[in-house]
Structure 1
Amino acid sequence: MGDKFYKKKGIAIENIAAELYLLNCNDRLPTMIDLQEKYDLSRGTVQNALSYLKDEKAIETKSRGHLGTFIEFIDYKKLQYFAGADQVAGTMPLPYSKLYEGLATGLYLMFKEQNIKLNLAFIRGSNERIEATEKEQFDFGIVSRFAAEQEIASGHNITVSLAFGPQTYLSKHILIFADKSRQEIEDGMTVGIDKDSLDHFYLTKELVKDNEVVLVDYPANQLVHAIREGEIDAGVWNYDEIVEKGYHDLHYIDLPLEKEHLAISEAVLVCSSQNKMIQAICKKNITIEKMHDIQLQVKAGTMIPRF
């Protein structure tokens, strides 16, 4: 009986701590009845959980009579701990560029500052990352704004919690040719396309829409090898890797800048629409300005990547 009571109290503390984490100072505290009904708890259990959080200095409240009870102080670190949210799991692209290394480092360092352990999984293909995040196999995923908006418009149950701004995902895409005399897509060419990447799939389809070409399914990160080996005639790839790895032998052209390209260049953090706690944790602990600074330092070589 005693173990059951303490287990129930622990679950109540965890749920109510998560509920309060979403609030700010001067917000109205949910009523006892609201919390009882939402979490299927008795009045006494809710009172015990709130008293515990107050005793632990996680919150301070003040009654304003008929207006209700309001929050005067919140210690988000303590609420985070009591909510069992002291570690998060995220997924992002393979860190083959300095921008990606900077993103991973920024996430790692900012969560570490708040005593949150970050577990990062590097998964190729925005489709896979979005699906895993939507299913809550991961708490968040890093994709381009373009990919996120496309999937949200398609009915996927994700939300953009943070948008880091243009050129935080990549600087630009380019079109690489195996034949150095080529300057545009021509009929009869074989062109690499990555069907797992929303960005790559869209860009490639747009480039070849007026030509009769053969599309060959290739992971985007293997396109450079495929072009060098003469397996395909052309393919779209990330300019950052070309520059950073010194691929001076490759012949490429810039893509005409379209509105969609800005969305493709911007990194965003997506969460399941249902996971309000994780959305709040990410918003409260990750700052856009700091991420920009860390990315610049990693890119310049003045900060060693850590993740």
Structure 2
Amino acid sequence: MNDFYKKKGIAIEKIASELYLLKENDRMPIMTELQAKYHLSRGTVQNALTFLKNEKAIATRSRGHLGTFIMSIDHKKLQRFANAEQMVGTMPLPYSKLYEGLATGLYLMLKEEDIKLNLAYIRGSKERIEATEKGTYDFAVVSRFAAEQEIQNGRNISIVLSFDHSTYLTKHILIFAEDDKNHIEEGMKIGIDKDSLDHFLMTKELVKNKNVELVDYPANQLIYAIRKKEIDAGIWNYDEVVEKGWTDLHYVDIPKKKFHQDTSEAVLVCSNNNSLVQSLCKNHLSVERMHTIQEKVKTGEMTPRF
């Protein structure tokens, strides 16, 4: 009996997840499709559908040879039966107001939909994307540049939401250890973070055809290394420098390239195998509201919550 109820529960969860992606007047998947996709018997699938109909999560109508169609659908109930009341995401450590605004926006918008959000803060976009692709996390927040690079490299992920320019950071700057330096010179030691796609590729672009030494440093330790003069220069986030009032640092703007703009845009990526999470994010997260929340956190009108 325990095996029976366990199998029935799994079937209800999977079928509810499948139906959550539909809307009124959509055609229902046929029985054999659901059996094959989830490796369930016909009777188990039928029991799961009957349960969801009895709970008024869905109502259907047959249209003869055209198939069966959704008459009404309660996404809230399907969300509960799909065990989609909790999500786990990953993003950078919120050390800037923009990152705090991103985390706050995600938390508040999902909370309004009765979805509990747990966030893991992981350094390095490559690691965040890899963990999301594997299913360790439901989604990852990275820059558009990092996401598109990894998609081109064959990662099984998609950009689900794009939050527009200057939502990830305002811009990158090049910081020097010496106040009289304004450009990279031959023989300099330049900090580079190999775990951050943005930092790694931007640094590579800046030092192209220059005889310099690249020193592997986690990006969040670059400021320390520059102040200690362990390296001569490194790329960093302008927002943190301004917000923390680091007036002792000498920096210049980085010459604009196309991908520099893409590094300023925050995007949310999901595994292509997780259509339910993709649908939840598209249905419950608003780009416009994210902009409003980020601005309020940035100006101090709203206290960060995450």
Query: Amino acid of the residue matched to residue 26 of structure 2?
Result: D
Q: CA deviation at 1:84?
A: 1.2
Query: Amino acid of the residue matched to residue 222 of structure 2?
Result: L
Matches of 2:236 and 2:187 in 1, distance apart? Answer: 20
- Does 68-77 or 249-258 show the bigger shift? 68-77
Query: Amino acid of the residue matched to residue 244 of structure 1?
Result: E
Q: After superposition, where does 1:137-152 map in structure 2 within 5 Å? A: 137-152=136-151
Q: CA deviation at 1:46?
A: 1.9
The match for 2:184 is 185
The match for 2:223 is 224
Matches of 2:25 and 2:295 in 1, distance apart? Answer: 37
Q: CA deviation at 1:269?
A: 0.9
Q: CA deviation at 1:33?
A: 2.1
Q: CA deviation at 1:273?
A: 1.4
Query: Amino acid of the residue matched to residue 19 of structure 1?
Result: E
Q: Give unmatched runs, 5+ long, in structure 1.
A: none
Match of 1:60, SS?
strand
Matches of 1:67 and 1:305 in 2, distance apart? Answer: 51
The match for 2:243 is 244
Match of 2:270, SS?
strand
The match for 2:232 is 233
* Identity of matched residues, %: 68
The match for 1:82 is 81
Residue by residue over 1:220-278, the C-alpha shift from the partner in whole angstroms, topping out at 9 and shown as x without a partner, is 11111111111111110000001111111111111111111111111111111111111
The match for 2:2 is 3
Is 1:97 the counterpart of 2:96 in the alignment?
A: yes
Matches of 1:157 and 1:37 in 2, distance apart? Answer: 22
Matches of 1:276 and 1:220 in 2, distance apart? Answer: 33
Matches of 1:152 and 1:297 in 2, distance apart? Answer: 32
- Does 131-140 or 47-56 show the bigger shift? 47-56
- Does 234-243 or 253-262 show the bigger shift? 253-262
Matches of 1:234 and 1:108 in 2, distance apart? Answer: 36
Matches of 2:225 and 2:41 in 1, distance apart? Answer: 64
Matches of 1:55 and 1:248 in 2, distance apart? Answer: 65
TM-score where L is the length of structure 1 = 0.97
Match of 1:168, SS?
coil
Match of 1:232, SS?
coil
Match of 1:225, SS?
helix
The match for 2:166 is 167
The match for 2:24 is 25
Matches of 2:60 and 2:225 in 1, distance apart? Answer: 63
Matches of 2:228 and 2:87 in 1, distance apart? Answer: 41
Match of 1:124, SS?
coil
Residue by residue over 1:69-114, the C-alpha shift from the partner in whole angstroms, topping out at 9 and shown as x without a partner, is 1112222121111011111111100100000000001111111111
Match of 1:41, SS?
coil
Query: Amino acid of the residue matched to residue 221 of structure 2?
Result: Q
The match for 1:278 is 277
Query: Amino acid of the residue matched to residue 185 of structure 2?
Result: E
Q: After the TM superposition, list the runs of 4 or more consecutive aligned residues in structure 1 that deviate by more than 6 angstroms.
A: none
Q: CA deviation at 1:118?
A: 0.8
The match for 1:197 is 196
The match for 2:108 is 109
Matches of 2:150 and 2:245 in 1, distance apart? Answer: 34
Aligned length: 306
Matches of 1:36 and 1:28 in 2, distance apart? Answer: 17
Matches of 1:177 and 1:4 in 2, distance apart? Answer: 65
Q: CA deviation at 1:183?
A: 1.1
Q: Give unmatched runs, 5+ long, in structure 2.
A: none
RMSD across aligned positions (CA):
1.1
The match for 1:214 is 213
Q: CA deviation at 1:116?
A: 0.9
Residue by residue over 1:115-142, the C-alpha shift from the partner in whole angstroms, topping out at 9 and shown as x without a partner, is 1111100000111111111111111111
Match of 1:265, SS?
coil
Matches of 2:224 and 2:21 in 1, distance apart? Answer: 48
Q: CA deviation at 1:210?
A: 2.6
Matches of 1:100 and 1:75 in 2, distance apart? Answer: 34
Matches of 1:135 and 1:212 in 2, distance apart? Answer: 39
